[in-house]
Structure 1
């Protein structure tokens, strides 16, 4: 791929990411994640009364009808989108609101300039059958993901190892580096292509992207495992979410400002 084609492909990826994050019901529009109990109750931003029943999220709506959502299913009411979410058997109702401050304050997704040098070839070692990885989420929840394996590679001459997990979409990683928590967000996500038959794999760090919790506090993203917290600076991929400055509070008239949500 030539330099022009490389940069064009990167810009197209950036545009698709911006649309996915900033769309009216996109990533940044998550306003609430309500963990449900067995007893029906009212929850902020969600019309009706909601509860968890077996494997479903169930709502008694104001028009007298019942909504029943399996995890991943959604319903649009009063301009907001309600989505059922499940984690290790616990059910939640997510409220996706185009007017959420986490969306309306968002200006851009800053990224490092794309560079072919940040497409690094490494060697993949698959994990054994049934292997899992202990995962801690931003809210302290602990779980296990299916371990895909590890990739040995070098970043600016420094040997590192990238632990990857596997799901229905393929291999992926959660990683942090020397820029994390300063010039870049505290950690980032990365999709990894399937390795070749000889174990080699080209990892494009230009496509490292911000996790959903960089855009809304209501996500429960996994943190990087210890081995994926590198001492080297990885200046590639998405960097930070840029937001409008918060308005000044006028104490005399009681004007308020929305809370900053760019941290998990």
Structure 2
């Protein structure tokens, strides 16, 4: 049975998610991502804004070129009148299920560990992401160990899990889902030492907070796909399923 407090907190989270994705800087508002060739200077603001309304938002970003590692300059255009915003109906959810609030642990790994992640727009090529640790938990007596990496989400340090399960493409978003967890402090509880590789910290893993990746809201996003070791061999019916748009709309 789900407690009234848990349901109320979950409803607040759902409301916050809708506000986030529909905001001016939310995924539904992204209409353009442009990358200059590696080594080229950034596109100037006037050129980047050409053909866009005055209230469009321009943001800058960088990445390493997937072939050479050289810096690529990029920019994004965000518009709250985007086609995706206008066609958006809702995010579909599974009912909150306390069975998917799992006790687990975050196990620190070597600082040098890099895992190749394929991204949805990279035509099968991979980008190495530094993995700070593993999320370890049990489901029906079987232990699972999934790679998680550090990220900044909502202005705070988080662990990001990119995972797949047997609902993908059938009930939930086909390319997998994300889960963001508060990053545990790197201090072993009750001691005065920092964690070393192989040490672990207890962590609660609430899959009811699983989300559709930003690429489920905008085709201008380039989301990481679950690596093989992060694909669960069972259906995980918790969290967000997929995004529902107006009939006939396609990203």
Identify the TM-score tier after normalising by the shorter chain: 0.7 to 0.9
Match of 1:178 in 2: 166
State which structure, 1 or 2, has the greater radius of gyration over its C-alpha atoms: 1
Q: Which runs of 5+ in 2 are unaligned?
A: 65-70, 190-199
Bigger relative contact order (CA 8 A; separation at least 6): 2
150-159 or 127-136, which deviates more = 150-159
Deviation at 1:220, TM superposition (A): 0.6
Match of 1:260 in 2: 250
The DSSP-based 3-state class of the residue aligned with 1:206 is helix
Match of 2:68 in 1: none
Match of 2:106 in 1: 124
Per-residue CA deviations over 1:46-91 (Å, capped at 9, x if unaligned) read xxxxx952xx442346xxxx99xxxxxxxx9522111112221212
Determine whether 1:189 maps to 2:178.
yes
Which structure's residues are more often strand, by fraction?
A: 1
- What is the number of residues matched between the two proteins? 222
Deviation at 1:194, TM superposition (A): 3.8
The DSSP-based 3-state class of the residue aligned with 1:78 is coil
Match of 1:249 in 2: none
Per-residue CA deviations over 1:199-218 (Å, capped at 9, x if unaligned) read 32110101111110000111
The DSSP-based 3-state class of the residue aligned with 1:147 is strand
Q: Which runs of 5+ in 1 are unaligned?
A: 39-50, 68-75, 247-258
Per-residue CA deviations over 1:129-178 (Å, capped at 9, x if unaligned) read 22212121111252221112112212344432221112352311100100
Match of 1:151 in 2: 135
Is this contact kept in 1: 2:162–2:230, CA < 8 A? yes
Determine whether 1:229 maps to 2:215.
no
Deviation at 1:222, TM superposition (A): 0.7
For residues 87 and 57 of structure 1, the distance between their equivalents in structure 2, rounded to whole angstroms, comes to: 15
TM-score, normalised on structure 2? 0.80
Q: CA RMSD in A?
A: 2.4
Deviation at 1:95, TM superposition (A): 1.4
TM-score, normalised on structure 1? 0.76
Is this contact kept in 1: 2:106–2:134, CA < 8 A? yes
140-149 or 217-226, which deviates more = 140-149
